[in-house]
Amino acid sequence: MRLISALLAGVWVMSKGLAPAVASTAAGCNWAPDDPAAVVQSCTALLSLEKAPAAWMYFNRGLAFKVLGQLDDAHRDYTRAIEVDPSFAPAYANRGNVRILRNDVPGGMADFRTALALDQGDDVTRANFEAIEAALQKVGAKKSHNGVSLGETASRHLHWRRR
């Protein structure tokens, strides 16, 4: 398990460099990598005003919670984003990562399979999936107790802006 933990930590650090550069304010629930707390505040305010919140609002707040280490809150918001838009592949990918970090490997694997099914061209998710799969196979974890193949993860930070 140390190999898996080390790999996840490495992927987490690597993904920090993959975050897109955007404006440094969180106004309107936009992603601000330098101030995730402001994103939480902005998105919470916007979500409270919306009668029918969009998936990207929950997604951005979930990402901010994830960066802040508030994994339960991140999981909740990614789940809400998926409920609003079941075809929103990045929400599955990021919820899968949160599940992996919370030691729910089968749940994380299921989310990553869905993310890849929805967006087959997602090279980041696929690369992370393959890296985790290889690490798990090295330690002998070929299948989980319920038959879900282990190894799908995506440690990436995405943002979604209102269009």
CA distance 91 to 71: 14
For residue 26, what pLDDT band results from cuts at 50, 70 and 90?
low
Say whether pLDDT at 79 is over 90: yes
For residue 119, what pLDDT band results from cuts at 50, 70 and 90?
very high
CA distance 160 to 89: 12
Half-sphere exposure of 91 (CA within 13 A, CB side): 24
The mean per-residue pLDDT over the stretch 77-94 comes to 97
pTM: 0.72
For residue 32, what pLDDT band results from cuts at 50, 70 and 90?
confident
List all residues 6 or more positions away from 84 whose beta carbon is below 8 Å from its beta carbon: 53, 54, 55, 58
CA distance 162 to 124: 23
User: 149 pairs with which residues across the strands?
Assistant: 143
Q: What are the structural domains, with CATH classification, of the chain?
A: 2-138 (1.25.40.10)
